[in-house]
Amino acid sequence: MAAEPIRISDSDDLRIAAFRSIRERDLVGRQGRFVAEGTVVLRMLASAHGGASGFRAEAILVLENRLGGLAEILARFPASVPVYVADRAVFNAIAGFDMHRGVLAIGRREEAADAAALIASLPADSLVLAACGISNHDNMGALFRNAAAFGADAVLLDETCCDPLYRKAIRVSVGAVLSVPFARGGDANTLLGRLAEAGFVIWALSPRGETSIARIEASPRLALVAGTEGEGLPPAILSRFHTARIPQRPGLDSLNVATASGIALYQMALLGGRVQ
């Protein structure tokens, strides 16, 4: 049962201070807090709230004319999560820009997942996406969207990846950041070593990979490793694990990392019968 909406008529109201100038604050640390925007992401937050991944909603801000259409989703949050409502002028003054989606939520991750614990929790048949050095929030969001579409069980990010809980990454992921379990931190070699110890067959994706992604072999536990577009994965990773390439015309810049990882995950998901 959702909270009774609280009307806000002053953008300086302290109760909605967390929502102020969200765009500018997007790039600074927020103690595990994140911003969810739009209906689809709010729905994912409702599903994640209070679950094993440690996500909680702290407050929701809704444009007054969206309240009716969102009733069903809002009803999924407990009454302890305040719902604020404002008209267009106040709403935009709070957000600091014209937020045409008209729905914002502040979420919090109680405790960041630990890679070792996440790996230990994975089922016998698992597909994992590992990423290394992904610094672009669009690409990060797209990686999660692809991971969700092809049923990946977890995403592991090394310490050089950007935070998937940034507003834009969450939005581009269509909320998948809140649904696919992930851990971030540590160096890539250690992370992948842990996966190998846990029985994962690891495929590093590279334009110069040895095996076409169309010809890799099935295995109950598969991990795909994606790197940055420019530099690609470090030689230490490419020499330690299997390497796979997306077959493509020679002489071109490699595919965007989002598309390349999507193709590779598609192929791995088909192989493992995760999608049909």
Considering only the stretches 3-11, 153-161, 190-198, 241-249, report the one whose residues sit in contact with its own copies under the rule CB under 8 A: 241-249
Q: Could you say whether residue 211 binds its own copies (CB under 8 A)?
A: no
What six digits make up the tokens of 7?
């009307």
Our CB check for its own copies shows the closer of 131 and 142 to be 142
Options 79, 214, 218, 236; binder of its own copies; rule CB under 8 A: 214
Q: Shortest distance, CB of residue 212 to its own copies, whole angstroms? A: 7
Within 156-195, the residues that bind its own copies by CB under 8 A are: 174, 176
- Closest to 55 in 3D by CA, of 105, 111, 103: 111
- Cβ closer to its own copies: 8 or 122? 122
Residue 10 C-beta: closest distance to its own copies, Å:
35
Candidates 54, 47, 96; CA nearest to 73 is: 47
* Residues 167, 104 contacting (CB under 8 angstroms): no
Q: Which long-range contacts (CB under 8 A, 24 or more apart) does 41-45 make?
A: 41/105, 41/170, 41/171, 41/174, 41/175, 41/178, 42/70, 42/73, 42/103, 42/105, 43/73, 43/175, 44/174, 44/175, 44/176, 44/178, 44/179, 45/105, 45/107, 45/175, 45/178
Distance CA 143, CA 22 (A): 24
For position 196 contacting its own copies by CB under 8 A, the verdict is no
Nearer to its own copies, 52 or 249 (CB): 249
The Cα 120–Cα 142 span in angstroms is 26
The verdict on 247 binding its own copies (CB under 8 A) reads yes
Closest contact distance (angstroms) between CB of 231 and its own copies is 15
Shortest spacing between CB 265 and its own copies, in angstroms: 9
Based on CB atoms, which residue is closest to its own copies, 78 or 247? 247
C-alpha–C-alpha distance, residues 210 and 207, integer Å: 9
The answer to whether 199 touches 76, Cβ cutoff 8 Å, is: no
Among 21, 33, 39, 40, binds its own copies (CB under 8 A): 40
Helical pair 67-74 and 39-48, crossing angle rounded to 10 deg: 20
Nearer to its own copies, 94 or 140 (CB): 140
Enter the DSSP assignment of 273. Answer: T
* Of 26-34, 109-117, 144-152, 236-244: span binding its own copies (CB under 8 A): 144-152
* Candidate residues 119, 132, 140, 142; the one interacting with its own copies per rule CB under 8 A: 142
Q: How far is it, in rounded angstroms, from Cα 109 to Cα 241?
A: 33
**According to the binding rule CB under 8 A, does residue 3 interact with its own copies?**
no
In 3D space, the residue among 264, 153, 148 whose CA is nearest the CA of residue 206 turns out to be 264
Binding residue for its own copies, selected from 56, 145, 168, 171, defined by CB under 8 A = 145
Q: Among 127, 148, 155, 238, indicate the residue that binds its own copies (CB under 8 A).
A: 148
Q: Which helix (H) or strand (E) holds 105?
A: strand 103-109
Binding positions for its own copies, rule: CB under 8 A: 40, 142, 145-146, 148-151, 174, 176, 212, 214, 246-249, 252-256, 258-260, 262-263, 266, 269-270, 274-276
